[in-house]
Amino acid sequence: MATAHPAEKSPSKPTNFRVGALVLDVDTNTILATGYTLELEGNIHAEQCCFMKLAKEHNVAEDQLGPLLPKNSVLYTTMEPCNKRLSGNLPCTERILNLKGVIKTVYVSVLEPEKFVRQNEGRKKLEDVGIKVELVGGLEDRILAVATAGHEQKGEV
C-alpha cells in the first residue's frame, strides 16, 4: 500500500496550494523536518512548517535557527517557495534567506502558478544570493493535480 505524499495530507481548499516540503542534511542523508501546507495551526506553508518544527526542536525562534542547522542542508519542495504572502505572513523565500546560507540548494518540482500572486520572484531572490534553485522535472502533472485539488477548474460552473 502506497503512503500519501505529504502534500496530499494538506486540506483541499480553493484558497491555497497543497504543497509538501522537507529539509535534508546532505552530509548524513538525514531528513531534519517535513511539512505540508496547513499542517500546523494558522495559514502555514509547507516550508514554513519545516522551519517552525526545527525551531521548536531546538527551542529557538525561527530567525535564530540558521547557526543550529547542518551547514550542508537542502530544501525539497513540491512547489517553488513563495515570495509574497497575501495573508501578511513572512514569505517562504524570506524564511530561507533568514537561515543565512544554511540552505544551499532548493529543489522544486513545479514553479508557482500565477493563480494567487503574479510573477513569483522568489527563485531570482534566492539565486541572487547564491542559493541554487533546481527544477526537478517529470512529475509536473501529478504535482499540479495535488496542489490545485479543491480549486475551481476551467470550465466548471
Q: Is residue 48 part of a domain?
A: yes
**Domain membership flag for residue 78:** yes
Using CA of residue 141, residue 144, residue 146, residue 151, what is the dihedral sign? negative
Lowest-confidence range among 38-42, 121-125, 151-155?
Answer: 151-155
- Residue 87: which pLDDT band, with cuts at 50, 70 and 90? confident
C-beta of residue 6 within 8 angstroms of C-beta of residue 34: yes
pLDDT at position 118? 60
Instruction: Report residue 157's pLDDT band, with 50, 70 and 90 as the boundaries.
Output: very low
Alpha carbons 150 and 130: distance in angstroms, whole number: 36
The answer to whether position 67 is within a domain reads: yes
**β-strands 103-110, 73-79 pairing:** parallel
Question: Does 5 map to a domain?
Answer: no
Residue 92 within a domain:
yes
Within a domain: 97: yes
Residues known to be catalytic: 47
Residue 3 lies inside a defined structural domain of this protein: no
Number of structural domains (the chain) is: 1
**Residue 11 near residue 44 (C-beta atoms within 8 A):** no
Identify which has the larger pLDDT, 70 or 144: 70
- The pLDDT of residue 2 is 47
- pLDDT per residue as tens digits for the range 27-39: 999 999 999 999 9
Judged against a pLDDT cut of 70, whether residue 8 lies above it is answered with yes
- Domain extent, residue 84, equals 19-147
Mean pLDDT of 121-149: 87
CATH code for the domain in which residue 33 is found:
3.40.140.10
Q: What is the pTM of this model?
A: 0.88
Name the grid cell of 86: 497575501
Residue 1 inside a domain? The answer is no
